[in-house]
């Protein structure tokens, strides 16, 4: 019987191709921890714990969590699907999901175990995820056959209008069909978005992401100004502070532009609060917030069952975390009337990949590996 024998945490730093600036932080490099889970047959599964203020995790905290309490939970157990006489593997994933360890650290171990499980049955991770429901719950996840590619948007970091316009023109020429513009409280949002629309043209889908930068009244004024200017913004992401459900609901009710919850949504309990407040019609699900694929799939299933629009997103991450999220996103149907682009451009900001094999980018397209699991061969 194949069992998990080793759990390794690899500290990784990778330079970015430019400054990544939002309302809450600015970065010039990716700091992350890659997890390698090795089974008794010598296979390696991979996961990632992105490090930042957003994930509420430092490298030292991630390594201590992974090599300590999380290793104690999973080592010696089977990482694959439960057999007919045991539910041990699902119990291991359930234990990870219920652990009080940081979400991003749990994400890394959860994804590594899913990668191993898919390899053991010879399936890509997307195909593995499409073949059953988390926790054995009927109807708990999408059943469509996964695609081999996923489209992503491209983020424009906080910058003056002329710089945003120049970047928009570059990404438009590169074939991107959806741009997400980061906002902060100091910028002239209307001038910035006019510049982006002029540079990108009428066919480009535009999103805005305030990363909690505004109060409700300010957010409403800004979004209405964009609407009145006819700039056709597809969605406004997290305009107010996380946890202020009343403010999020106030913005959603006062504007025509659909509002998306991001930093507000980490768990199923958060989703229940969002639904109770009728706070937003759209949600951004990220594995670093949900703690991995098991809880992420349950979030996805409930959000869709409640009629919410879903975008699968990411932090600044390497192709390890991006591939896991894209595998989940590959199961989603294309929603009529809304862009097909997911929010998975984090890996495009890296100067190089820290791993060989796995998913890769070709402009707006993420091409998933055809090898079993995530298709990662090792550190590069």
pLDDT, tens digit, 9 for 90 and up, residues 292-333: 999 999 999 999 999 999 999 999 999 999 999 999 998 888
Per the structure block, which two tokens stand in for 113?
């175990």
Per-residue model confidence (pLDDT) at position 168: 98
Cα separation, 272 vs 344, in Å, equals 25
Rounded mean pLDDT of 114-132? Answer: 90
Contact predicate 236/210, CB 8 Å: yes
Annotated catalytic residue: which of 167, 182, 289, 302? 182
Q: Whats the size of the chain, residue-wise?
A: 380
Contact predicate 316/48, CB 8 Å: no
Average pLDDT of the chain is: 92
Residue 366: pLDDT over 50: yes
- Is 25 in a helix, a strand, or coil? coil
pLDDT, tens digit, 9 for 90 and up, residues 7-48: 999 999 999 998 888 877 788 999 999 999 999 999 999 999
Closest C-alpha among 249, 255, 259, 256 to residue 283: 259
Structure letter (DSSP) for residue 256: S
Cα separation, 366 vs 288, in Å, equals 19
Per-residue model confidence (pLDDT) at position 86: 43
Cα separation, 50 vs 53, in Å, equals 10
Cα separation, 34 vs 44, in Å, equals 12
Per the structure block, which two tokens stand in for 14?
């990778």
pLDDT, tens digit, 9 for 90 and up, residues 138-193: 333 443 444 589 999 999 999 999 999 999 999 999 999 999 999 999 999 999 99
pLDDT, tens digit, 9 for 90 and up, residues 330-353: 888 866 555 689 999 999 999 999
Q: Per DSSP, what are the bridge partners of residue 20?
A: 27
Contact predicate 325/332, CB 8 Å: no
Residue 136: pLDDT over 70: no
Judge residue 378's burial from the number of C-beta atoms within 10 Å of its C-beta, 0-12 exposed, 13-18 middle, 19 or more buried: exposed
Per-residue model confidence (pLDDT) at position 336: 52
Per-residue model confidence (pLDDT) at position 83: 43
Per-residue model confidence (pLDDT) at position 131: 83
Please report the sign of the dihedral spanned by the C-alpha atoms of residue 374, residue 26, residue 240, residue 336.
negative
pLDDT, tens digit, 9 for 90 and up, residues 53-101: 899 999 999 999 999 999 999 999 887 654 443 445 678 999 999 999 9
- Domains 4-122 and 149-379 fall in the same CATH topology: no
Question: What fold, for 4-122?
Answer: Enolase-like; domain 1 (3.30.390)
Dihedral over alpha carbons 115, 118, 122, 123 (to 10 degrees): -100
Per-residue model confidence (pLDDT) at position 300: 96
Domain segments of the chain as ranges = 4-122, 149-379
**Among 45-49, 51-55, 192-196, 287-291, whose mean pLDDT is lowest?**
51-55
Is there a catalytic annotation at residue 180? no
pTM listed for this prediction: 0.92
Structure letter (DSSP) for residue 363: T
Contact predicate 325/314, CB 8 Å: yes
Query: What are the phi and psi torsion angles at 147 (to 5°)?
Result: -85, 175
Burial readout 297-333 (b: 16 or more C-beta within 10 A, e: otherwise): bbbbbbbbeeebbbbbbbbbbbbbbbbbbbbbbbbbe
Is there a catalytic annotation at residue 167? no
Annotated catalytic residue: which of 3, 167, 180, 286? 286
Thinking of the domain 149-379, which architecture would CATH place it in? Answer: Alpha-Beta Barrel (3.20)
Q: How confident is the model at residue 203 (pLDDT cuts 50, 70, 90)?
A: very high
Contact predicate 186/50, CB 8 Å: no
Per-residue model confidence (pLDDT) at position 364: 96
Residue 201: pLDDT over 70: yes
């Amino acid at each position: 019987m194949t069992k998990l024998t080793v759990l390794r945490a690899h500290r990784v730093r990778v330079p970015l191709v430019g400054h990544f600036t939002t309302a809450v932080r600015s970065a010039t490099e990716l700091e992350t921890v890659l997890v390698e889970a090795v089974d008794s047959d010598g296979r390696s599964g991979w996961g990632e714990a992105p490090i930042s203020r957003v994930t509420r995790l430092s490298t030292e905290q991630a390594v201590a969590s992974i090599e300590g309490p999380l290793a104690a939970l999973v080592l010696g157990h089977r990482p694959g699907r439960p057999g007919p006489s045991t539910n041990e593997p699902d119990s291991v994933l359930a234990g990870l999901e219920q652990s009080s360890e940081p979400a991003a650290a749990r994400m890394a171990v959860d994804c590594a175990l899913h990668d191993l499980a898919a390899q053991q049955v010879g399936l890509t991770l997307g195909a593995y995820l499409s073949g059953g429901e988390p926790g054995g719950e009927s109807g708990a996840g999408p059943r469509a056959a996964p695609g081999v590619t996923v489209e992503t948007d491209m983020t424009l970091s906080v910058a003056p209008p002329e710089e945003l316009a120049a970047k928009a023109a570059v990404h438009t020429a590169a074939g991107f069909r959806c741009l997400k513009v980061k906002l902060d409280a100091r910028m002239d949002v209307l001038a910035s978005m006019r510049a982006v629309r002029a540079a990108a043209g009428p066919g480009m889908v535009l999103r805005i992401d305030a990363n909690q930068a505004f109060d409700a009244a300010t957010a409403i004024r800004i979004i209405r100004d964009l609407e009145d200017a006819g700039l056709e913004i597809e969605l406004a992401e997290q305009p107010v502070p996380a946890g202020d459900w009343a403010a999020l609901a106030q913005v959603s009710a006062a504007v025509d532009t659909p509002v998306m919850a991001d930093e507000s949504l980490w768990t199923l309990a958060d989703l229940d609060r969002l639904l109770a407040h009728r706070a937003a019609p759209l949600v951004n699900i990220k594995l670093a917030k949900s703690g991995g694929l098991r809880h992420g799939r349950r979030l996805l299933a409930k959000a869709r069952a409640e009629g919410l629009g879903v975008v699968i997103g990411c932090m600044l991450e390497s192709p390890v975390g991006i591939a896991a999220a894209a595998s989940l996103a590959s199961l989603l149907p294309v929603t009529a009337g809304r862009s097909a682009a997911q929010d998975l451009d984090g890996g495009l900001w890296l100067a190089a990949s820290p791993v060989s094999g796995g998913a890769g980018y070709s402009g707006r397209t993420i091409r998933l590996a055809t090898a079993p699991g995530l298709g990662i061969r090792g550190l590069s």
